[in-house]
Structure 1
Amino acid sequence: MRFKGEGRKSVMAAILAISLAGCSGGTGTGTDAGNSPSSTEPAFNYTGAGPVTDQPDAKLSVLGTNAWTTNVDLSTAAIVKKIESNAGVTVDWDLIPPQNYADAVNPRLAAGTGLPDIVYLPDQDQLMKYINSGLFIPINELVEKYGVNLKKIYEKSPSVKASLTAPDGKMYYIPQQTLTRNYMPVFMINQRWLKKLGMSEPATLDEFTAMLRKFKTDDPNGNGQADEVPLSMESKFVSMAFGPAFGLDLSNQFYADDQGKVHFSYYEPAYKEYVTYLNGLYKEGLLGVDYASTTSDQVTSRISQDVTGATFNFSWYMSMVYSPLFKDYNPKEPIFKGILPLKGPNGDQFYVGRTPVSGIFGITRDSKNPELAFRFLDYAVSDEAQTYYTWGIKDDTYTEENGVKTFTDKGKDNEYIQKLGIGPVNLPNIQSTDSADSVVAEWHAKLDKELEPYIREPFPFVYALPDEASVESMAMPDITTYVEEMNFKFISGDASLDQFDSYIETLKKMNIEQVIAGRQAQYDRYKAAQQ
């Protein structure tokens, strides 16, 4: 079944999603792991724009992911070829479907031989196994010499530099970046249901609960049947939706408070308040019995049938997916609209953002010309390159007047921009708020900026030292399993909340405090790297 508005949803997904979709000191053991990379070409005055070389036959090899859309080959896509042309480099692409990228690439990295110049890593190497094996060269000297665009990124986003700085002070990877504060997951409410019941948007957790009770009992869809599902969301969003009202970041497990102290959300007194509240919703039938298994398709179906009044998802769903499901939707008037985060019992009020680094590229020790490889990647993160990634090709997919870009009809044609290579995942692209603003409804773009101050940074990505990694790898799998099991039992009532103290003691015996201590050390290094 194809819902109304699905085409524009795909356009937005292409623009917003990069992929909607780990030794002591990290010094490395490769032959040249700690040395300045050598160059095989004459000196070149690189300015940050293309070309990145004056050699007429410059070539590089890159291993990366292909497009999520199976009928698109990014190696021949017009945007990717434009980046190659501007850089003055011919690239030999080895692109693998993202669905099985890790399975295909991990054995090649484990073998450690015959690698191309550049590799998109299957993970963010938090445990530094690739760094320590010497597969990828440090890039600090290259950044100083050629990192015109990377330096701008680091200046604009110190957190990116801090996350990618290993404990030994060296950097090894070039980032692919996502939006961190815009178009994040939020609560969305059916505005027509509110109007019919004479209610305002809820501002507090108590007001939200009262609204759900009205949605359940007062027939807000007006069909005379008790068929309303007051609240419906994918199971993965439940903790992200309600945790912040209790000051917790349950979706990322760990968080640092305003004093820089690291906490494990499921080990906090406030977590008992959280499960107590959700158990109350569950008992009243305001949180469905299927809440732990609800899928995205089920949510969309319920909204299209006008039987759900509230949900939680990435912001762009409100005007790109959910509101257009209604045949009489007027793009100037929202039907499903996001609200400010709910204020909890202790005054907490925020939504959780995302970490900026969504993927990393490394230059291998096998590269015959690491300087060329680095300049290519630096150009690939330039503003010029990012314009191609997010807007496409001028006068084809967008026009520009007085510095303001606007998508053309072609630019709004999902199939066309996909084949053009919009948002290419085989390059270090950076998602754009401006391009997203131009696609969503005007009211939606305005609301996104109103929500932005309420977005809180999640716990950062930080490299783990060997002893930290050892403790965490031994303890966290069992801790995570236990936490998930008890979370469901507490909410569903299968376990009494009188058992909460016993639950805390069990986590302590499972070495959660040692894990927290390791995360504290990582966070302290991260903050120091920002100085």
Structure 2
Amino acid sequence: MKKMAIASMTAMLAAATVAAGCSTKEGETPKPSGGQSAQPSTSASPQSAARKPGDLPLTNEQAELRIATYDNLYTPKSYAQNLPVFQEIEKRTNVKIKWEVFPAAQAQTVIDTMFAAGSNLPDIVFGANDIAKLNEGGQIHDLKPFIEKFAPNIQKLYKEMPMVRALTTDPNGAILSIPIVALSEDFRPTYLIRQDWLDKVGKKVPTTIDELVDVLKAFRDNDPNGNGQKDEIPLAFPPGFMDFIASSFDTHPRGNFYPDANGRIEYVPITDKYKEYIKFLNMLYTEKLMDPSFATSTNDKFNAMISGSVTGVAIQYMGNLVPFETSSKGQWTGFVFPKGPSGKAYAERVAPISGGAVITKQSKNPQLAVEFIDYIMATEDGKRFANWGMEGTSYKNENGKLSFTDYMLNNKEIPDPLRALGGNWNLPRVQALDTAKILNGEKVSKLNDELKKIMVDAYPASQIPMTKEEKASLNEGWADMETYKSEMVTKFIMGKANFDKDWDTYVSKMKQLGIEGKIKIEQGKYERYSKIMKGN
């Protein structure tokens, strides 16, 4: 059952990885028109009298906040049922939550309709898609002045993790949303491999690309699954994971754009290093060492290859070690990205944010809304509620050492027991708990320690806020570029395009389609992002 628990919790954490008018209250400066927000009030109010920001309760007189978000995931327990975690949060903060929840699959439709109506908006909305558009329409607050005055714990988080601030600051310096922040290391992608297959073919865990190829050939040729058929697919990966192989080739294709050593943005898929990486994939494909259906693969197909014991090497999050063992009834271990032609490899630290909560201009108490988010997201209380749940139910505290109870480890009746209590909520939080390490222990911990040795920060090009003009210019013609690039990369991998004859033509065509103009836009975004990262 312990293995079932980690499978469930890995899924739930990954999923977390899925937001008119205005009023002026006494003591506030009237709000300007457009996307600007008024400065927060400095006058006395029920929550500010005789207390300072961060003190509990958040308000001396009980207040209510209306919160709209997509409902709880992986459990039938709804936020609207006043779950135990939020009952306790309400007691400590003296804030009553009025939930307005909707299914995750309908989130964008519901939120778009809500803001289009433009009246009777809740205080906090989590999950809005086009936050910049809401700001342009004057429907949400710039949270920066509120955070600076009333959110000491979020300010501390910004200092510890400047990337969080950089990725939520728009080109005009406004902070429009507060996200979920993932500090957990469960979701670091790497290579996972069948240890029992290695033992059967007499090979060791590879440390270089050449050793990896040698292992893949042994898996292809020696029937390690023992069914008497040559049906092994040595290497497979779910959609979106193939480009982690590039970690052995000094190239960063996952976001298309990446700064070189001199701070100049490159469009990675037309660089020489990327070409060498694609040549390697072509060799794997030609030698039948990788999934032949890579271009049309799905998560279901990938999972079937794991559970059906036809794949011996996979690229996935390291937290999947136990689920893989459960589904395949095999022995899995992990290894870091193998050294490539340069003798180096890297592991990319994924950008740590997802989702975002906005505070609407119709909120009667935006200060309290910010203080509430500061509490649930960035205080030690909030982190404990989000990651551990309820003391005595989901965890025990023995002299400051926390550990999960049987409710979490061996719960056969409640799907996703932590979420059933209200933890891992769909609101701003800091995901600080390494669930895989807790439930799987030494194997994942050792793998994570090895990954840390080669870790570099990702450059989150797609998550950097853009101006309206930048967004329009970047989107113009982008679909045609992306389609052409993807088609040509697939042709190169499958041998339908020739590297000597066709590569230069491919690069020239990308330039004709306007890729150099996109690089210029990305250069401006990078310089703005770098300035914030440096604290300017």
TM-score (norm 2): 0.89
Number of the residue aligned with 1:36: 39
Over 3 Å counting, the alpha-carbon distance change for 1:40 and 1:73 in structure 2 is farther
Number of the residue aligned with 1:146: 150
Deviation at residue 29 of structure 1 after TM alignment: 7.0
Is structure 2 residue 245 aligned with structure 1 residue 247? Answer: no
Unaligned runs of 5+ in 2: 20-30
How many residue pairs get aligned? The number is 511
Q: Which amino acid aligns with 1:404?
A: K
Deviation at residue 349 of structure 1 after TM alignment: 0.7
Residue 312 of structure 1 aligns to a residue whose secondary structure is strand
1:201 and 1:164 map into 2 onto residues whose CA distance is 40
1:513 to 500, 505, 516: 516
Number of the residue aligned with 1:25: none
Over 3 Å counting, the alpha-carbon distance change for 1:273 and 1:95 in structure 2 is same
Residue 251 of structure 1 aligns to a residue whose secondary structure is coil
Contact 1:472 1:515 in 2 (8 A): yes
Number of the residue aligned with 1:229: 233
2:385 to 367, 383, 388: 388
* Aligned alpha-carbon RMSD (Å): 2.4
Tell me whether 432-441 or 37-46 shows the greater mean CA deviation: 37-46
Is structure 2 residue 151 aligned with structure 1 residue 155? Answer: no
1:166 to 156, 164, 170: 170
Is structure 2 residue 56 aligned with structure 1 residue 55? Answer: no
Deviation at residue 297 of structure 1 after TM alignment: 3.1
Contact 1:253 1:265 in 2 (8 A): yes
Number of the residue aligned with 2:102: 96
Number of the residue aligned with 2:23: none
Residue 190 of structure 2 aligns to a residue whose secondary structure is strand
Is structure 2 residue 18 aligned with structure 1 residue 12? Answer: no
What are the Cα deviations for residues 465-499 of structure 1, in whole angstroms up to 9, with x where unaligned?
A: 23321210103222111111112111112222221
Contact 2:186 2:434 in 1 (8 A): no
What are the Cα deviations for residues 344-384 of structure 1, in whole angstroms up to 9, with x where unaligned?
A: 22334112332122111111111111111111111111221
What are the Cα deviations for residues 273-318 of structure 1, in whole angstroms up to 9, with x where unaligned?
A: 1221111111111123212223333333333333221111111001
Number of the residue aligned with 1:332: none
Residue 360 of structure 1 aligns to a residue whose secondary structure is strand
Contact 1:250 1:265 in 2 (8 A): yes
Is structure 2 residue 443 aligned with structure 1 residue 443? Answer: yes
Contact 1:177 1:431 in 2 (8 A): yes
Contact 1:164 1:172 in 2 (8 A): yes
Contact 1:397 1:408 in 2 (8 A): yes
Over 3 Å counting, the alpha-carbon distance change for 1:437 and 1:404 in structure 2 is farther
Residue 433 of structure 1 aligns to a residue whose secondary structure is coil
Over 3 Å counting, the alpha-carbon distance change for 1:165 and 1:228 in structure 2 is same
2:93 to 79, 87, 91: 87
Q: Which amino acid aligns with 1:74?
A: Y
2:222 to 218, 234, 242: 218
Contact 2:285 2:493 in 1 (8 A): yes
Number of the residue aligned with 2:27: none
Deviation at residue 434 of structure 1 after TM alignment: 4.2
Tell me whether 396-405 or 515-524 shows the greater mean CA deviation: 396-405
Number of the residue aligned with 2:211: 207
Contact 1:116 1:367 in 2 (8 A): yes
1:87 and 1:269 map into 2 onto residues whose CA distance is 56
Contact 1:232 1:310 in 2 (8 A): yes
Tell me whether 144-153 or 429-438 shows the greater mean CA deviation: 429-438
2:279 and 2:123 map into 1 onto residues whose CA distance is 54
Deviation at residue 32 of structure 1 after TM alignment: 7.8
Q: Which residues in structure 2 correspond to 1:175-190 (within 5 Å)?
A: 175-179=179-183, 182-190=186-194
1:354 to 350, 355, 368: 350
Work out the percentage of aligned pairs sharing the same amino acid: 30
Number of the residue aligned with 1:475: 477
Contact 1:136 1:172 in 2 (8 A): yes
Over 3 Å counting, the alpha-carbon distance change for 1:141 and 1:122 in structure 2 is closer
Residue 293 of structure 2 aligns to a residue whose secondary structure is coil
TM-score (norm 1): 0.90
Number of the residue aligned with 2:22: none
Is structure 2 residue 464 aligned with structure 1 residue 462? Answer: yes
2:283 and 2:308 map into 1 onto residues whose CA distance is 27
Deviation at residue 190 of structure 1 after TM alignment: 0.8
Is structure 2 residue 78 aligned with structure 1 residue 73? Answer: yes
Deviation at residue 216 of structure 1 after TM alignment: 0.5
1:266 to 259, 263, 269: 269
1:401 to 389, 395, 398: 398
Tell me whether 251-260 or 280-289 shows the greater mean CA deviation: 251-260
Unaligned runs of 5+ in 1: 23-27, 330-334
What are the Cα deviations for residues 80-123 of structure 1, in whole angstroms up to 9, with x where unaligned?
A: 33222221111111111112201221232244333111111323
Over 3 Å counting, the alpha-carbon distance change for 1:501 and 1:112 in structure 2 is farther
